A and B are shown apart, each in its own frame.
Chain A
């Protein structure tokens, strides 16, 4: 008689245990993608790796004629460096600037920002305050709606780095 009582209890316990393990695993897998998603754009990597990851092997043309990259020549404080990018583009649904990337070559996280624009923006323009770790090139890469990539880069001298760590 006691045997018949113990068995169901064991079964119930085992089932509960399995449930708990499943729930824990669920929580783990839920936690992981959040972290992964937060890290996809900005990773600790070299600028070559970053470019390969973002653009694959696609050719990048020189965009000096179309892109205006506005940056200080010397940044006294690398923690706050104003940057703005404006691109000559009609910004019509047929031909517009889809993405503007800002990449700082010497930063530990080279990709600073990716801006996604819609034709409604009226003008292909972005501005932001960025951090620069040390003296190095800053590039702006523009992806147009037809997929062509254009790039300009400029060197910025940094007196005091702003990335810390």
Chain B
């Protein structure tokens, strides 16, 4: 699982100023589910899953996802943002073990 934390962002190839752009962000992450012992009791431990996704564009937070273990393994998240100026789009993923993974994309107008 050396791929944990690999982030891929998919943005449209041509963006015009003022467009509302839809982005897909994919991250490789196990998103561990709750395990139970033979008696069906939940095993208490710190499960490793992503609990926060933060999307920033030009330094401003556009969207935040608070997620739980009900989100699939290797999840993708899509969102939109309004492309007003060329600049950086950054997506950060935080997990419960303190891991922080991020992907960035430069937004330019064609």
Contact = CB atoms under 8 A, between A and B. Distances in A.
B16 interface: no
A118 B21 CA distance: 14
Given A114-B65, A116-B64, A120-B60, A128 B76 contact: yes
**By DSSP majority rule, is chain B's interface helix, strand, loop, or mixed?**
strand
Nearest to B36: A165
Interface in A76-104: 79-81, 84, 104
Interface in A107-128: 107-118, 120-123, 125-128
Contact of B35 (A80, A84, A120, A165): A165
B100 interface: no
Given A165-B35, A165-B36, A128 B68 contact: no
B77 A35 contact: no
Contacts of A108: 34
Chain B CB count within 10 A is highest, among A44, A104, A126, for: A126
A57 interface: no
A41 B66 contact: yes
B72 A126 contact: no
A104 B69 CA distance: 12
Given A113-B65, A115-B63, A131 B72 contact: yes
B9 interface: no
A22 interface: no
Interface residues of B, number: 37
Interface in B56-100: 57, 60-82, 84, 96
Given A108-B34, A164-B33, A79 B68 contact: no
Contacts of B77: 126-128
A126 B65 contact: yes
A81 B5 CA distance: 21
Nearest to A42: B68
Nearest to A107: B70
Contacts of A163: 33, 70
Given A108-B34, A115-B66, A117-B62, 15 more contacts: A35-B46, A44-B42, A111-B70, A113-B66, A115-B63, A116-B64, A118-B60, A118-B61, A118-B63, A125-B80, A127-B76, A128-B76, A130-B70, A131-B71, A165-B36
